[in-house]
Chains A and B, each alone.
Chain A
């Protein structure tokens, strides 16, 4: 047995590569252990989860660029309509359909030109952006509030309560959104508010389902049971463990829901069910632009570019947030 072992060893190590006087026995090795004087050098500064997430978001160049773009967009949408020398419905019938950077005889500059009624497109585009963003953000926030409360209740209680609440959601999903908008426009004055209400009636189901699923899976996670075993109060359990784990998913969902809300608004306005004229929105403007696309393409391209870039930025920002809020993807 022992001989066979030695033979195998000899076959494996045909010649000795170490000098004869170099004896590497067990005593040649010592446990060094951590260097007590220098160990503070590798201590990472103590930072909270949210500050760490912020730091990671700031490292993501694409997400930062998108944030900057969105801030600029919001500033333009807020300020331009206030300082513009024109109003949204002010018509200049002497110079309709003018190209970009057209200067009228009275000396006024139309940066994006005018539409077929001679209204200033620069003013209308930014006011439209403001309307669209306002609708999108309020719709998403309302949906999230309703959805999170509904979904969290369903997920937290579980059992037959959850069952009934989820069947109710399935009924709502079965009703086409367009029908609700049309029905609502019959009883309400069509406008921004009715649009928001119509979308809020059906739009919350997505975030409700998302929240319910998250709460259901979090509730049975061992770290939640561990916190419970430590004696956490339900309040602490919810605020310190469930909400932080839920919030990152919801923030990402919020950022990704805004572009879809913008697009829905644009679509509804485009088919004439949305924001009533003469009030501009990105969808309205694009719809008017299509009528004259053959001759004055900028009238369609400008709102289309704003819609695309806004949606793209929100999507990219959502991606960046998802990466930043997950400590496992830490770089």
Chain B
């Protein structure tokens, strides 16, 4: 892998002020994304994956911490910076039904980004819309239809075409497949994979389906309660899982063989995720960890490199 860092995230925090306190959606997260790779981000619902993705997109401003994109600091509050960054980074949403404006035709949805960024003249834009539609596996006669005339998978393709229209280099895929049927999921995954090779894209792939993440990602980060608890290359993470939470997460993946599935040893977690408003003082996972000791409840573990490229935040490894 060429180790050119596209995105450097250091000590990133995103807090929301809600009634009853401060919700720490993303708390002190640091990692890098290299150019041309797919960085998988997994974790259960509400652990801050999507928020992290949106902060990296500049949709939400960060509460603390720094994001360096291609060596330059990203500050969405500076006028014009958000606009220039939008040209480079795009997002694909989870819900293909909510992410397309119901009152615009597919053609104008895809062309919108090009209009905003003043790309091409009107005639060339129409050609580009056709090219993009065909690139994502749709036909040019779809351009004059409205989003509700399409199925979920087709709508997701439209969402991908919209993101690709302004030729970004970095795409945040915010659970792009979790709202789709399994058969359609593989189509979309393969489409994303092909596009990555053809257009040299970098993905941040957010999901909770571990098999899919393993298939598409080169490196995987595991999030729990706003913290990044483990980070490793995908083979390494599956072969040598270090964090007890990642372990529990991976043991929940069903194996498509009933005999192996029956003999599999599952780590079943008890209890609930602590509230992100009142976070416990020690390790965020201590309350549910099967092997937590006194130190875990008192002291928050830092993310440290155990073997080269394998980072984990746990006192016990």
Interface residues of A (CB under 8 A from B): 34, 39-40, 42-47, 49, 221-223, 225-233, 236, 240-241, 244-245, 248, 327-328, 330
Q: A43 contacts B141, CB within 8 Å? A: yes
Q: A230 contacts B90, CB within 8 Å? A: yes
Q: A327 contacts B83, CB within 8 Å? A: no
Contacts A230-B113, A245-B103: A223 and B140 contacting too (C-beta < 8 A)?
no
**In whole angstroms, what is the CA distance A240 to B116 when docked?**
12
CB distance from B286 to the nearest CB of A (A): 34
**9 tightest Cβ-Cβ pairs between the two chains A and B:** A231-B86, A222-B99, A222-B98, A230-B113, A44-B144, A223-B101, A43-B141, A327-B146, A328-B148
* Contact partner, B59, options A40, A225, A240, Cβ 8 Å: A225
Q: B148 contacts A327, CB within 8 Å? A: yes
**In whole angstroms, what is the CA distance A227 to B106 when docked?**
14
Q: B83 contacts A227, CB within 8 Å? A: no
Is B131 in contact with chain A by the CB < 8 A criterion? no
CB distance from B110 to the nearest CB of A (A): 11
Is B100 in contact with chain A by the CB < 8 A criterion? yes
Residue in A closest to B113 when the chains form the complex, CB atoms: A230
CB distance from B18 to the nearest CB of A (A): 11
CB distance from A81 to the nearest CB of B (A): 41
Q: A46 contacts B86, CB within 8 Å? A: no
Residue in B closest to A39 when the chains form the complex, CB atoms: B141
Q: B105 contacts A42, CB within 8 Å? A: no
Listed A/B pairs (20) with beta-carbon separation below 8 Å? A47-B144, A49-B105, A222-B99, A223-B102, A225-B93, A226-B93, A227-B101, A228-B59, A229-B59, A229-B91, A230-B113, A231-B86, A231-B113, A231-B117, A232-B116, A240-B112, A245-B103, A327-B146, A328-B102, A330-B148
Residues of B in contact with A, size category? 35 or more
**In whole angstroms, what is the CA distance A221 to B147 when docked?**
15
In this complex, the member of A44, A226, A245, A330 whose beta carbon has the largest number of chain B beta carbons within 10 angstroms is: A226
**In whole angstroms, what is the CA distance A275 to B109 when docked?**
51
CB distance from B219 to the nearest CB of A (A): 24
CB distance from B111 to the nearest CB of A (A): 11
Is B266 in contact with chain A by the CB < 8 A criterion? no
**In whole angstroms, what is the CA distance A230 to B103 when docked?**
18
Q: Which residues on the B side are within 8 Å of A34 (C-beta)?
A: 139
Residue in A closest to B17 when the chains form the complex, CB atoms: A159
Query: What 19 additional pairs, Cβ within 8 angstroms, besides A40-B141, A225-B59, A248-B103?
Result: A39-B139, A39-B140, A42-B141, A46-B144, A49-B103, A221-B98, A222-B95, A223-B98, A223-B99, A225-B91, A226-B91, A230-B86, A230-B113, A232-B116, A233-B116, A327-B102, A327-B146, A328-B146, A330-B146
Is B162 in contact with chain A by the CB < 8 A criterion? yes
CB distance from A47 to the nearest CB of B (A): 7
